[in-house]
Structure 1
Amino acid sequence: MFIGREKELSLLETLHSSSKFAYLVLYGRRRIGKTSLLKEFSKSHSVIFYSAQAKNDSLNLADFSKTLQMYFTGTTFGTFSDWKAAFTYITSQVSEKRITLIIDEFPFIAEVNPTIKSILQHTIDHQWKEKNLFLILCGSSVSFMETEVMGSKSPLYGRSTSNLELQSFDYLQSAAFFPNYSNEEKLLSYGILGGIPCYLQAFSDASPLAQNIAQNILSMGSFLKDETQNLLKMELREPAVYNSIFEAIATGSSRLNDIAQKIHEEQSKCSKYIGTLKTMKLIEKITPSGEKASSKKSIYMISDNFFMFWYHFIFSNRSYYELLGENESAQEIMEQLPLYMGGIFEKICTEYLVRLAKLKKLPFIPHTIGRWWGSDPRTKKENDIDILAWDKHHQNAIFCECKFRNKPFAMDEYNDFMRATEIHTKAEHRFYYLFSKSGFSESVTTRAQNEGVILVNLDDLFLVM
């Protein structure tokens, strides 16, 4: 079953419905669902769909030639002499009926034959620009697509009529994969799997979460058991160093210096490797909300929930879990999930606020939104706010506290939160949101009503559409 991507499909339909030349660059990290999106689009249209492979140029050209010839004639008559001839053949076949050409995993061709970019640029400029043709170039190497296909030094620069970087699902979109789970189980599933469709499809809401963990992550031969390692081996040359960086971050080291010390590597080397992981959308640099990107307070976090889960629970415990057994290991992980979910819940609540902002249901449109941390000048101690949103002029602020615990939000926590917000004196207009998995105490509920504080429980997160 294909779930979500309504806006993305709508864009493809709009581009396809035009009678003018259209060229879309579609890209995103591996497993994000690019090919699935293109296949879903192709179900209702006649398209030339060619998926390149990691092999030499001659073999890809031969496969491409067969794909074209079978589409137009239903038979094959040999490999074209070169890519220029193949593209010219397409030109000769264009008529009033719109032709859609999809080249999936384009980097596999362009990396072994860099000239194809110039050949394609020349074909677009001199043959296709006035034709009823829809071209889609798709790729999983984000850096390659951004630099070698869309970059200013690329021959293809400026030729695309649309660009689309496919993003992972948020918590609400991910919940659609598990209609039979409770709302808490849906959030736990998101905390484990993140918003990658391929990972979400590995779990079944016909089975308890613990069973899914045992069978689909811990079990020998399961897809997710070695997914992180397989992905790193596909993309990187030195997975050992990257593994160490992931483990350091997953176990609490978030500053560059701390990560370098934890894995016993030079800061410069760590910075380079982290930069690669940022390009792959697996790690993100986070700055206290409202501060400049160059802030010395910046930290690094694992942006992919499944990678975070895997390195937090499994990477250093694999031998132990094998001895303990899949079912017992899954139960142990389940017991530790509430503590692990603390940071994930902040991410979920942020995504909820972003949805509200898009619906114009917040007091203002945030210019920055995210965690804030820093020194409290009153106590000279570190303080933090789970979510802090500022407007463009730093006159309006939304302060949020998020609790994923098995007890109601208590009055002492309310007081601590309010004190923490007092150091942000620049905010002329202040708004407060409290999020709690287990609801709120009666005293907190009464006080919040009197003070205009918004209370959000687990079910409320699923009412925003």
Structure 2
Amino acid sequence: MVPKPTHVFDRDWEWEALTSFATGSHAEVSFGVVSGRRRQGKTFLLRSLTEALGGFYFEATEGTNVELLRLFGMALARHSGSPVGYPFADWRDALTFFFSLPKDRPMPLVIDEFPYLMRANSAIPSILKQEIDLRGRTHGGTSNARVLICGSALPVMGKVLSGQAPLRGRARLELVIQSLPYRAAADFWGISDPRLAAMLHAIVGGTPAYRDEFVAGDIPSSAGDFDGWVARTVLNRRTSLFREGRYLLTEESDIRDPALYHSVLSAVAEGNNTWGGIASHIGHRSSDIAHPLNVLEDCGLLVKEKDAFQSGRTRYRIAEPLITFYQAIMRPEWTDLSLGFAAEVWERSRQRFLSKVMGPHFETLCREYALRYGRAHFGEGGIGEVVAGTVADPANKSRIDVDIAVLGVAHAGEARAVKSLGEAKWDKVMDLRHLERLRRARDLLAAKGYDTTNTTLACYSGAGFHDALRAEAKRDPAILLVDIPMLYGNA
């Protein structure tokens, strides 16, 4: 096991996966793919890997085929100690030398931003595949290279190993670098107040780059400093974070009409999270938004989640909290923000932040809690999914929205187990009415054939619980109350 460098925060299992791949004892060449949305620390991890193991790292840039080939040759020359760059005739010549670098031990060879190479020369995946095959097990394993390609363009990276792609079936490692989990994000920012941590996460999420590279280590000192921090960082026209919510969209190469895509994201940020709701909000027919929805989903900016209890019904949510904040708070006030009126804009937008950003984000945190940290509360057996759901109540001609539905693993011929039904309120003290709504949903689902024998009824609150609800929870072990300290593991 290669010790993780002290400057790498968290990422324990990612580091173990990378080092196990890079130091594997098999004689033949190995190939792996690393991907993930921008700013999540992929490059940081891969540079740390090559530094720890003496490997080679090359980061491609936008450019022509000839220019990139020259830059690749210069990088290989520096790694090999040559005073001049290697004048490769073509990419086959370059990759042949590339695979010859490792001699007496396995060595990681990293090509970052691989989609730029593919854009400059579409034949590179095929050439890479042929070089891998030439040195594979069937040819005597003539290289112990550990080749890793990496990229942030998720639609492109998703196609590298899919369908009839040349490299399909060649990868021994496929690693997706995600945002930090919300508890790890709080530790990364050095935030011990769970309420402050939740509000901060609603803006910057678990993206590591935002702390140091975008706000230069400016961290809110307390919950009382949160308003000031928002005004002096994310709403401050002089910081890099100010325009990041816009750049995250425009950086995606598949997006041809930014205005339409911004409108779609704005609709979702406003709470219009169904296909029809989005189309109606932006004044388009439902059929007209199929393409932008698919592109945003492929880019990892939108997540489509099916309704737990309504077949065919899906909801969309924005994957990057900063985009939600930009669409809900910054975009409507862009003129005043551009003039430097950050404090005034935030003063009149704070209530909107609580309703349009913090409330929905708190529900997302609660679903992550149920999936990642709260499993012990939901009985034995695996978790099939944790999503929101809608339960029809015909008798009352209404429906019950379940914010956190924890479902068991589906087995053919068996009733689907409902492990938990939960409701989340960020700024409301929860009482027995919320519990009764969950009980009604449980009974309706039981009548529909779901297994609700051991269903936990969960109330998640950022503002606390009335005494009557606390007393009911003490009496009934099937009732779970989750407050902010418990959400962050401080209970």
Band the TM-score falls in, shorter-chain normalisation: over 0.9
Cα distance in 2 for partners of 1:445, 1:153 equals 57
- 8 Å Cα contact 1:371/1:385 also seen in 2: yes
Superposition deviation, residue 128 in structure 1: 5.6
Superposition deviation, residue 323 in structure 1: 6.1
Superposition deviation, residue 276 in structure 1: 0.1
Q: What are the within-5 Å matches in structure 2 for residues 108-123 of structure 1? A: 108-123=116-131
Q: What are the within-5 Å matches in structure 2 for residues 62-81 of structure 1? A: 62-81=70-89
Query: How many equivalent residue pairs?
Result: 459
Q: Which residue of 2 aligns with 1:16?
A: 22
Superposition deviation, residue 108 in structure 1: 0.4
Aligned residue for 1:401, secondary structure, equals: strand
Deviations, residues 114-153 of structure 1 (Å, cap 9, x unaligned): 1111111111111365221111000111111111x11131
Cα separation, partners in 2 of 1:419 and 1:200, compared to 1, 3 Å: farther
Aligned residue for 2:455, secondary structure, equals: strand
Deviations, residues 154-186 of structure 1 (Å, cap 9, x unaligned): 111111111012222221121122224511000
Counterpart amino acid of 1:410? Answer: D
- 8 Å Cα contact 2:405/2:418 also seen in 1: no
Q: Which residue of 1 aligns with 2:236?
A: 219
Q: Which residue of 2 aligns with 1:82?
A: 90
Deviations, residues 50-84 of structure 1 (Å, cap 9, x unaligned): 00011001111101111111111342244211111
Q: Which residue of 2 aligns with 1:362?
A: 378
* Moved beyond 6 Å, runs of 4+: none
Q: Where in structure 1 are there 5+ consecutive unaligned residues?
A: none
Cα separation, partners in 2 of 1:19 and 1:146, compared to 1, 3 Å: same
Q: Which residue of 1 aligns with 2:133?
A: 125
1:318 to 325, 334, 344: 334
Deviations, residues 212-239 of structure 1 (Å, cap 9, x unaligned): 2212222123112111222322212210
Counterpart amino acid of 2:36? Answer: G
Cα separation, partners in 2 of 1:52 and 1:253, compared to 1, 3 Å: same
Deviations, residues 276-306 of structure 1 (Å, cap 9, x unaligned): 00011111222211554xx0x2222222211
Aligned residue for 1:423, secondary structure, equals: helix
Q: Which residue of 1 aligns with 2:4?
A: none
Q: Which residue of 1 aligns with 2:465?
A: 440
2:480 to 430, 444, 454: 454
Aligned residue for 2:88, secondary structure, equals: coil
- 8 Å Cα contact 2:237/2:340 also seen in 1: no
Cα distance in 1 for partners of 2:241, 2:85 equals 42
TM-score, structure 1 normalization: 0.92
Superposition deviation, residue 35 in structure 1: 0.9
Cα distance in 2 for partners of 1:234, 1:271 equals 21
TM-score, structure 2 normalization: 0.88
Q: Which residue of 2 aligns with 1:136?
A: 148
Cα distance in 2 for partners of 1:397, 1:40 equals 41
1:157 and 2:168 are equivalent in the alignment: yes
Superposition deviation, residue 8 in structure 1: 0.5
Cα separation, partners in 2 of 1:37 and 1:363, compared to 1, 3 Å: same
Cα distance in 2 for partners of 1:198, 1:65 equals 30
Q: Which residue of 2 aligns with 1:255?
A: 274
1:96 and 2:104 are equivalent in the alignment: yes
Cα distance in 1 for partners of 2:339, 2:129 equals 57
1:431 and 2:452 are equivalent in the alignment: no
Cα distance in 2 for partners of 1:375, 1:127 equals 59
Q: Which residue of 1 aligns with 2:182?
A: 171
- 8 Å Cα contact 2:333/2:345 also seen in 1: no
Q: Where in structure 2 are there 5+ consecutive unaligned residues?
A: 1-6
Aligned residue for 2:57, secondary structure, equals: strand
Superposition deviation, residue 326 in structure 1: 1.2
Q: Which residue of 2 aligns with 1:205?
A: 219
Aligned residue for 1:121, secondary structure, equals: helix
Counterpart amino acid of 2:135? Answer: Q
Counterpart amino acid of 2:341? Answer: G
Q: Which residue of 1 aligns with 2:69?
A: 61
Cα separation, partners in 2 of 1:360 and 1:230, compared to 1, 3 Å: same
- 8 Å Cα contact 2:34/2:174 also seen in 1: yes
Counterpart amino acid of 2:314? Answer: S
Aligned residue for 1:44, secondary structure, equals: helix
Cα separation, partners in 2 of 1:360 and 1:13, compared to 1, 3 Å: farther
- 8 Å Cα contact 1:385/1:421 also seen in 2: no
- 8 Å Cα contact 1:174/1:200 also seen in 2: no
Cα distance in 1 for partners of 2:150, 2:50 equals 14
Q: Which residue of 2 aligns with 1:341?
A: 358
Superposition deviation, residue 455 in structure 1: 1.6
Superposition deviation, residue 200 in structure 1: 4.3
- 8 Å Cα contact 1:290/1:390 also seen in 2: no
Counterpart amino acid of 1:143? Answer: P
1:145 to 151, 157, 161: 157
Q: Which residue of 2 aligns with 1:463?
A: 489
Counterpart amino acid of 2:156? Answer: F
Cα distance in 2 for partners of 1:423, 1:320 equals 49
Cα distance in 2 for partners of 1:216, 1:79 equals 46
Q: Which residue of 2 aligns with 1:301?
A: 317
Cα distance in 1 for partners of 2:79, 2:319 equals 41
Cα distance in 2 for partners of 1:382, 1:121 equals 54
- 8 Å Cα contact 1:194/1:200 also seen in 2: no
Cα separation, partners in 2 of 1:94 and 1:284, compared to 1, 3 Å: closer
Superposition deviation, residue 346 in structure 1: 1.2
1:332 and 2:344 are equivalent in the alignment: no
- 8 Å Cα contact 2:35/2:151 also seen in 1: yes
Deviates most, 229-238 or 409-418 = 409-418
Deviates most, 68-77 or 266-275 = 68-77
Superposition deviation, residue 402 in structure 1: 1.4
Cα distance in 2 for partners of 1:229, 1:338 equals 21
Cα separation, partners in 2 of 1:185 and 1:70, compared to 1, 3 Å: same
Cα distance in 1 for partners of 2:371, 2:190 equals 23
Counterpart amino acid of 1:113? Answer: N
Cα distance in 1 for partners of 2:130, 2:406 equals 47
- 8 Å Cα contact 2:220/2:229 also seen in 1: no
Counterpart amino acid of 1:16? Answer: A
Cα distance in 2 for partners of 1:362, 1:394 equals 14
Q: What are the within-5 Å matches in structure 2 for residues 250-289 of structure 1? A: 250-289=269-308
- 8 Å Cα contact 2:57/2:112 also seen in 1: yes
Q: Which residue of 2 aligns with 1:45?
A: 53
- 8 Å Cα contact 1:110/1:117 also seen in 2: yes
Identity %: 24
Aligned residue for 2:189, secondary structure, equals: coil
Deviations, residues 247-290 of structure 1 (Å, cap 9, x unaligned): 11111222222322322233222111110000111112222115
Aligned residue for 1:299, secondary structure, equals: strand
Counterpart amino acid of 2:481? Answer: L
Deviates most, 203-212 or 278-287 = 203-212
